[in-house]
């Protein structure tokens, strides 16, 4: 995607969650900043391939531009790139041949929205999934799947706000839900922890103690003694550090080796990541997914502006930005037990300071509202192209971490 195109669009993303609470695909939404602008479909696919290469994870392109989407119909996406086609375009005979050709080339197509008229017969077999908003779903309340077009193919449910709605969607036959009822999932997890405290995170006390010791730059022997109390934590730490996202040229074989190679400052950021992704609750998987991507996005936004200290702080700020809801404690209390830099504390506990606008932006790009993204960009005084580059780099790194 050329810099020119990156400056003409706004990007946002959301997860597609399957029955196992796994992120089965990422939905990338592309908004034109100027309605009717001519946008480059080949450039979009080139940039998408840099994040989701052929054979890698799946991405669903939700393009809010008719001319760009028309260009995509003439292109040849890799098999892991799904294309969402609005019902009004699917029902337009002017696009019938292009849809058939794209399907014949092996692309996965999704129909989005309710058709206002019967679709051409030859178009129906081209769609593998439909996207059905909960508010428009006429099957709500059914106890068993009903016959009909939207039952003849798999469907993805959007507009789900509670775990009850999500469970009902899966019971009706949904293959996935779009987005995630994050606050409801966190509340449900908190109730589960009250009933069964053993279902909580890996030993939180060990993790917080280790962060304190790293923050104080204590001798390696003391850090190793602390880590031995939680072998699961040690394993996950080694897995993260040796992931492609970390970019090391040698394999880290021990905690001592990690400190020698990384230093205390870089190690602390990965301990922060472990703290935010340590829950065993399946309903919190997508929340942890969001925390990782927030941290990486906030870091990438200042890759060309800030120094290493600022990048590390913004990474921790993003990763920690959901801890208050995950642990059901206000940040003012939570951060009294976990050492964080002052600028991170200001952003999370007081919603102030130089990092607060970055928090606003990461929340905006998780949504589906162009106005919110525009406002967040204005708050950072940053060019949209630079924000889009940072978002795509962050999604690519996060995909490597998931590998």
> Please, what is the angle between helix 66-73 and helix 96-104, to 10°?
50
Mean of the per-residue pLDDT values for the chain? 85
Q: What is the pLDDT of residue 146?
A: 45
Asked whether the predicted pLDDT for residue 150 surpasses 70, the reply is no
Place 400 in a pLDDT band, splitting at 50, 70 and 90. Answer: confident
Place 199 in a pLDDT band, splitting at 50, 70 and 90. Answer: very low
Domains of the chain by range and CATH? Answer: 3-180 (3.20.20.450), 189-402 (1.10.3210.10)
Sign of torsion over alpha carbons 337, 271, 189, 27: positive
Token reading at 251: 């394999």
Asked whether the predicted pLDDT for residue 195 surpasses 70, the reply is no
Asked whether the predicted pLDDT for residue 193 surpasses 60, the reply is no
Q: What is the pLDDT of residue 281?
A: 76
Residue range 13-32: mean pLDDT, rounded:
92
Asked whether the predicted pLDDT for residue 151 surpasses 60, the reply is no
Higher-confidence position of 226 and 142: 226
pLDDT in tens, 281-302: 777 778 888 898 999 999 999 9
Residue range 41-69: mean pLDDT, rounded:
92
pLDDT in tens, 349-391: 999 999 999 999 999 999 889 999 999 999 998 888 999 999 9
Higher-confidence position of 212 and 237: 212
Place 148 in a pLDDT band, splitting at 50, 70 and 90. Answer: very low
Place 198 in a pLDDT band, splitting at 50, 70 and 90. Answer: very low
Asked whether the predicted pLDDT for residue 202 surpasses 50, the reply is no
Q: What is the pLDDT of residue 39?
A: 92
75-89, 157-171, 306-320: which has the highest mean pLDDT? 75-89
| Closest of 123, 58, 56, 31 to residue 85, by C-alpha | 123
Q: What is the pLDDT of residue 48?
A: 93
pLDDT in tens, 298-319: 999 998 876 888 998 999 999 9
- Least confident window among 83-92, 176-185, 381-390: 176-185
Residue range 74-87: mean pLDDT, rounded:
94
The structure's pTM equals 0.85
Categorise residue 276: left if φ over 0, alpha if ψ from -120 to 50, beta otherwise.
Answer: alpha
Q: What is the pLDDT of residue 197?
A: 37
Residue range 247-252: mean pLDDT, rounded:
80
């Amino acid at each position: 995607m050329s810099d020119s195109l990156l400056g003409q669009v706004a990007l946002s993303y959301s997860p597609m969650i399957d029955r196992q609470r796994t992120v089965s695909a990422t939905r990338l939404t592309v908004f034109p900043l100027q309605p009717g602008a001519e946008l480059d479909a080949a450039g979009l696919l080139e940039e998408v391939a840099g994040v989701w290469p052929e054979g890698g994870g799946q991405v669903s392109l939700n393009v809010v531009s008719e001319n760009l989407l028309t260009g995509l119909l003439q292109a040849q996406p890799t098999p892991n790139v799904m294309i969402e086609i609005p019902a009004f375009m699917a029902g337009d005979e002017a696009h019938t041949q292009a849809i058939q050709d794209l399907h014949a080339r092996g692309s996965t197509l999704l129909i989005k929205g309710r058709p206002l008229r019967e679709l051409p017969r030859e178009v129906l077999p081209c769609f593998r999934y439909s996207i059905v908003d909960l508010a428009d779903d006429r099957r709500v309340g059914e106890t068993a799947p009903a016959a009909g077009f939207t039952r003849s193919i798999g469907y993805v449910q959007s507009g789900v706000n509670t775990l009850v709605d999500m469970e009902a969607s899966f019971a009706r036959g949904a293959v996935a839900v779009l987005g995630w009822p994050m606050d409801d999932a966190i509340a449900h997890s908190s109730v589960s922890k009250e009933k069964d405290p053993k279902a909580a995170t890996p030993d939180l006390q060990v993790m917080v103690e280790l962060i304190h010791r790293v923050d104080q730059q204590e001798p390696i022997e003391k850090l190793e003694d602390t880590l031995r109390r939680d072998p699961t934590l040690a394993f996950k730490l080694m897995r993260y550090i040796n992931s492609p996202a970390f970019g090391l040229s040698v394999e880290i074989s021990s905690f001592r080796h990690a400190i020698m190679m990384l230093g205390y400052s870089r190690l602390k950021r990965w301990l922060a990541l472990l703290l935010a992704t340590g829950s065993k609750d399946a309903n919190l998987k997508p929340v942890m997914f969001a925390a990782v991507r927030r941290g990486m996005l906030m870091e990438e936004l200042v890759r060309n502006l800030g120094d290493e200290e600022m990048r590390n702080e913004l990474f921790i700020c993003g990763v920690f930005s959901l801890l208050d809801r995950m642990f059901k404690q206000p940040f003012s209390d939570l951060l009294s037990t976990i050492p964080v830099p002052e600028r991170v504390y200001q952003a999370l506990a007081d919603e102030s300071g130089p990092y607060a606008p970055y928090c606003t932006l990461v929340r905006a790009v998780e949504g589906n509202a162009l106005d919110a993204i525009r406002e967040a960009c204005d708050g950072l005084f940053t060019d949209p192209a630079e924000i889009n580059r940072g978002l795509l780099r962050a999604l690519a790194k996060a995909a490597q971490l998931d590998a």
